[in-house]
Homo-oligomer: A and B are copies of this chain.
Amino acid sequence: MAGFLLAAIMILLGSSSSSSSSSSGSSAVLEPLFQYIHGHQNEFVQRLGEWVAIQSDSSDPAMWREVKRLLNVTAQKIQEMGGRVEFADVGTQQLASGETVALPPVLLADFERDARKPTLCIYGHVDVQPAKKEDGWVTDPYNLTEVNGNLYGRGATDNKGPVLAWLHAVEAYQATKQELPVNLKFIIEGMEETGSDGLEELTRQRNESFFSDVDYIVISDNVWVSRRPALTYGTRGSTYFFVEVKGVNQDLHSGVWGGCYQEPMSDLIALLDSLIDHSGKILVPGLNEAVAPLTEEERKLYENIHFDVEEVKKEMGINHFLQDTKEGILMARWRYPSLSIHGIEGAFSDPGSKTVIPRRVIGKFSIRQVPNMEPAVVERQVKEHLQQVFTKRKSPNSLAVTTTVGAKPWVADLKDPQYVAGRKAVKAGLRNFIVTIIINLLISVFISTTK
């Protein structure tokens, strides 16, 4: 059962004295909590199933009502536990249709505050990426299903499970009448999978109010590298590119027009093919030069990370990665940029055959960025490169490249006291098999001891 909550623990903000031993981590306090959690497993899983069943796909504005519904369910659970909630407005978005609609709000919540305790703010999100059976799901993505002891469902780990795990941790403290060792706040959003629109602005606005007494922020929204829990101390940033090639006024019949017209699809395919070679190297001039050089100290860090290349290859069903060594593979995933082509909008994408020449197509790709790349510079480099390739083709069509910038890349100091607390919590929590809830409990325990 532990496998379904693949949440990695990130402690990003705040700083405090180094860790010390404390009685609050003792078994006398923790035992009743652990017992409660063990006794309520089925109930926790059932609640996760209810959350997974809510199709909170934030990529489709038509589904935002479901995102909002799950935010309401979350708020209600917090209120039932005595928390105060606020739905913070984060503005509107103009849809492709021209219509302007309100974004799902961000849920801010806190509990009664004890000035003697440190304050921990939990970040999470309740929205998901799209999921269709034809994408390769073996089970119904919106019906949490157990297969060989693992639970499968869209959002089960990213990020509904981890959010619920925190709520269940609070529930365990309250039900066993234990005192929480920290003050808790929550910031839960519903637009993470499509770029967290408005979130950055909101955190700035509330810096002197909601966040003024926050000592630590914990984000459980990442994956484990292997079966061992992982502490994430950095993530790559991301910019999403839309490459639109627009041609004639309407779709054409390829039997009638094929051969005399430079088709938007040929242009787009050539543009996309100019981005990356078969070794995974990004071909946009200048882009790789900004990447922070690898230090010897950093290189050594990778040697001790558990990652069984052969096992992962077997699991994924491929016979080789682009890199030959464990270190090479992990560095490609974490400390070097990458480019993925996601798809094409406007072309024929259904099963079967259709011989139409589409008049307007939009290619979509994203670039994962690392320190010291600057999203604005990357955007300019990519646009210039695409424009150059397009100009050489002497196309009668028009090109327009637009972007949405996701997160910037970041990297934290592993020796920071919060990472020490996180590491201790993970180690202690591993002895128990309902890993995430236990780790969450222990994080709050160890955080309180480092204050």
Chain A residues proximal to chain B, CB less than 8 Å: 59-60, 96, 129-130, 134-137, 194-195, 223, 235-236, 238, 240, 242, 247-251, 253-263, 265-267, 269-270, 272-273, 276, 278, 280, 315-323, 328-330, 332-333, 336-360, 364, 366, 368, 392-397, 404
Contact call A258/B339, Cβ cutoff below 8 A: yes
What is the bound-complex CA distance between A328 and B59, given in angstroms? Answer: 46
**Which residue on chain B has the smallest CB distance to residue A336?**
B259
A-B contact pairs, 9 of them (CB 8 A): A59-B354, A129-B356, A136-B249, A240-B353, A254-B368, A259-B322, A261-B318, A265-B342, A355-B366
Contacts of A349 in B (CB 8 A): 343-345, 347, 349
Contact call B358/A348, Cβ cutoff below 8 A: no
What is the bound-complex CA distance between A329 and B355, given in angstroms? Answer: 20
Q: How many copies does the complex hold?
A: 2
Contacts of A328 in B (CB 8 A): 260
What is the bound-complex CA distance between A329 and B256, given in angstroms? Answer: 11
In whole Å, how far is A148's beta carbon from the nearest beta carbon of chain B? 15
In the complex, the 7 A-B pairs of residues with the closest C-beta atoms, listed nearest first = A259-B338, A343-B348, A343-B347, A258-B338, A349-B349, A273-B273, A259-B332
Contacts of A60 in B (CB 8 A): 350, 352
Contact call A255/B280, Cβ cutoff below 8 A: no
**Which residue on chain B has the smallest CB distance to residue A135?**
B251
Residue of B235, B318, B352 near A247 (CB, 8 A) is B318
Contacts of A352 in B (CB 8 A): 59-60, 194
**Which residue on chain B has the smallest CB distance to residue A370?**
B259
Residue of B238, B267, B347 near A255 (CB, 8 A) is B238
Among A236, A321, A329, A347, find the residue whose CB has the most chain B CB atoms closer than 10 A. A347
In whole Å, how far is A259's beta carbon from the nearest beta carbon of chain B? 3
Contacts of A336 in B (CB 8 A): 259
Contacts of A342 in B (CB 8 A): 254, 265, 347-348, 353-358
- If A59-B353, A130-B354, A238-B355 touch, does A333 touch B260 (CB 8 Å cutoff)? yes
Contact call A397/B195, Cβ cutoff below 8 A: no
Residue of B130, B256, B269 near A272 (CB, 8 A) is B269
What is the bound-complex CA distance between A254 and B406, given in angstroms? Answer: 13
